[in-house]
Amino acid sequence: MIERVPAVALARDVAVSKVVAGMWRVMRWGMSREGLARFIDECVALGVTSFDLADIYGGGAAQAFFGEALAARGGNNDDIQIITKAGIRLPSSSGGGARVKHYDSSAAHLRRSVDEALSVLGRERIDLFLLHRPDPLLDRDELAELAHRLVAQGKIGAFGVSNFSAREFDWLGARVPLASNQIEFSPFHTAPLDDGTLTAMNATDVVPMIWSPLGGGRLFDESNETGSRVREALQQIQRDRGLPDWIPLAYAWVFRLPSRPVVLTGTSRVDGIRDATLGAGIALTREEWFYVLEAARGHSVA
């Protein structure tokens, strides 16, 4: 097993760590900017050098707070990579705000979102910029032109999407080079195995980024029937292998996918980050992997 995870190439000059620290809940963690700076340092020491943000996280405050933590670290912060997303507009009580929650993939909004992210983060480049959700009003030719221009200007390293289905991914990918698709996948959400989402990325050698790999905490919920079955399966593998803990095996199950996935965590605990890095160093056998899948679904494969 390894503790320091390697980097994974997504595009010509863009690589991210195999484990990415997700900042969705960062404003709920109760950290000072100095505390977050220390957390970033502890992640980097484990090889977790990539951090996932979005313009709407923390009610719109997460990116700026993360930028303050970067400033508190000192130096040029060249040892980390920034992933951020935009394209969701939230209602606002202030004048001129959105009336309803909606998606906005317009070039004007996304360009403004990139510029604002660069400003509050104190960066010259966003390593990976993602469209947060599929937009039924998306103009893919306009988006293709914008993505090309942002890369050419050096404002982003690569462009990708988040929560896109297989057909949506193929449709947009025909116009725009897509570096990744950030999707939900876990023993509690195995649909991407069957609905073509992972196949679409495999077909173009695109690395998926997996969010909620532990099922949003359901893995630890004693009252969750699926969680109990999966937990028992992982604990059996732990006993068979003589391992000290079973939680890294949950991450190993996701890492076993042939698409070389990148996994996002959502924890403020360094030990929780370490569990993911340990999982990256465990190679489950085929039988072990299907044993967990059977536990997750409650039945064997056909």
Q: Is 251 a catalytic residue?
A: no
Q: What average pLDDT does range 209-238 have in this prediction?
A: 97
Residue 273 has pLDDT above 80, yes or no: yes
CATH fold, domain 7-297, is: TIM Barrel (3.20.20)
Residue 95 confidence (pLDDT): 53
β-partners of residue 189 are 186
Which residues lie across from 158 on neighbouring strands? 128
The residues spanned by each domain of the chain are 7-297
Q: Residue range 188-201: average pLDDT?
A: 96
Average pLDDT value for the chain: 95
Is 10 in a helix, a strand, or coil?
strand
CA–CA separation, 93 vs 259, rounded Å?
43
pLDDT of residue 94: 54
The arithmetic mean of pLDDT across residues 256-264, rounded, is 96
DSSP 190: -
How many alpha carbons lie under 13 Å from residue 157 in its C-beta half-sphere?
Answer: 20
Q: How confident is the model at residue 145 (pLDDT cuts 50, 70, 90)?
A: very high
pLDDT mean over 9-31: 95
Task: Tell me what pLDDT residue 241 has.
Answer: 98
- When pLDDT is cut at 50, 70 and 90, the band that residue 93 belongs to is low
CB atoms within 10 A of CB 136: 7
Q: Position of tokens 């863009």?
A: 14
Whether the pLDDT of residue 271 is over 60: the answer is yes
Rounded distance between C-alpha atoms, residue 197 and residue 202, angstroms: 9
Confidence of residue 98 (pLDDT cuts 50, 70, 90): confident
Is residue 178 over pLDDT 60?
yes
Q: What is the mean pLDDT of residues 251-268?
A: 97
Whether 267 contacts 273, CB under 8 Å: yes
1 band by pLDDT with thresholds 50, 70 and 90? very low
Question: Given pLDDT bands bounded at 50, 70 and 90, which one contains residue 54?
Answer: very high
Q: How confident is the model at residue 96 (pLDDT cuts 50, 70, 90)?
A: low
**Cα 265 to the center of its chain, rounded Å:** 8
What is the mean pLDDT of the segment spanning 272-278? 97
Grade residue 11 by pLDDT with cuts at 50, 70 and 90. confident
Do 3 and 12 meet the contact criterion of CB atoms below 8 Å apart? no
* pLDDT tier for residue 99 given thresholds of 50, 70 and 90: confident
Confidence of residue 75 (pLDDT cuts 50, 70, 90): confident
Give alpha helix (H) positions in the chain: 33-45, 62-73, 107-121, 140-152, 166-173, 191-194, 197-203, 225-241, 247-255, 270-279, 286-297
Q: How far apart are the first and last CA of the chain?
A: 33
Residue 184 has pLDDT above 60, yes or no: yes
Instruction: Determine the 3-state secondary structure of 171 from DSSP.
Output: helix
* Residue 143 token pair: 């988006």
What is the rounded average pLDDT of the residues 15-22? 98
The single-letter code of the amino acid at 54 is: A
- Catalytic member of 57, 103, 251, 291: 57
Pairing mode of beta strands 207-211, 262-265: parallel
